[in-house]
A and B are shown apart, each in its own frame.
Chain A
Amino acid sequence: MSAAPSNPLTLAYYPGCSQTGTAAEYDRSSRACCAALGVELVDVPDWTCCGSTPAHTVDHFLAGALAARNLLQAELAGHDRVTTPCPSCLAALRTASHHLAEAPAENGAPQDSGPNYRAEVERLLDRPAPLRATAVSVLQVLTEDVGVEAIASAVTRPLTGLRVAPYYGCIMNRPPGLMQFDDPENPTAMDRVLEACGATVVDYPFKTECCGAAFGMPRLDIMQRLSARLLDMAASCGVDAIVVACPLCQMNLDLRRGQVNAFSHSQGGTHHAMPVPYFTQLLGLALGLPESGLGLDKLVLPLGPALTAARAREDERIARTQAELAAKAARKNGTSANGNGSKENTPCA
Chain B
Amino acid sequence: MQTPVRPLNLAQARDPDFQAAVARDSGQHLASCYQCGNCTAGCSYTPDYDFPVHQVMRLVQLGLKESALSCRSIWLCATCQACTTRCPNNIDVARVMDVLRHMARQAGYAPEPGVKTFTDSFLASVAKHGRVFEVGLAAVFAIKSGKPLQDAGLGLPMLTHGKLSLTPHEPEGNGKAEVAAIFARFDRVAAQKARAHSPGETPGNGKKGGGE
Contact = CB atoms under 8 A, between A and B. Distances in A.
A129 to B, nearest CB: 12
Nearest to A216: B151
B206 A21 contact: no
B38 interface: no
Given A210-B82, A216-B151, 6 more contacts: A51-B126, A52-B122, A53-B78, A54-B123, A215-B78, A217-B141
Interface string B17-57: 00000011111000000000000000011011000000000
Interface of B: 23-27, 44-45, 47-48, 76, 78-82, 84-85, 92, 94, 98, 101-102, 105, 112, 114-115, 117-119, 122-123, 126, 130-135, 138, 141, 145, 150-151, 153-154, 157-158, 161-163, 165, 169, 171-176, 178-179, 181-183, 185-186, 189-190, 205-206
A114 B25 contact: yes
Contact of A112 (B27, B76, B78, B179): B27
Contacts of B122: 52, 54
A37 B122 CA distance: 35
A193 interface: no
Contacts of B165: 20-21
A57 B179 contact: no
Given A170-B78, A255-B157, A69 B45 contact: no
A124 B131 contact: no
Nearest to B116: A218
A58 interface: yes
A226 B82 CA distance: 15
Interface stretch (A275-283, A296-304, A320-328): A296-304
Interface of A: 17-18, 20-22, 24, 45-49, 51-62, 65-66, 69, 73, 111-114, 123-126, 170-171, 174-176, 184-185, 208-210, 212-220, 222, 225-226, 255-256, 258-259, 297-300
A213 B205 CA distance: 23
A342 B91 CA distance: 68
A69 B206 contact: no
B81 A217 contact: no
Given A24-B163, A219-B76, A59 B182 contact: no
Contact of B138 (A56, A69, A217, A226): A217
Contacts of B134: 17-18, 21-22
A258 B76 CA distance: 23
Nearest to A257: B157
A256 B150 CA distance: 11
B48 A219 contact: yes
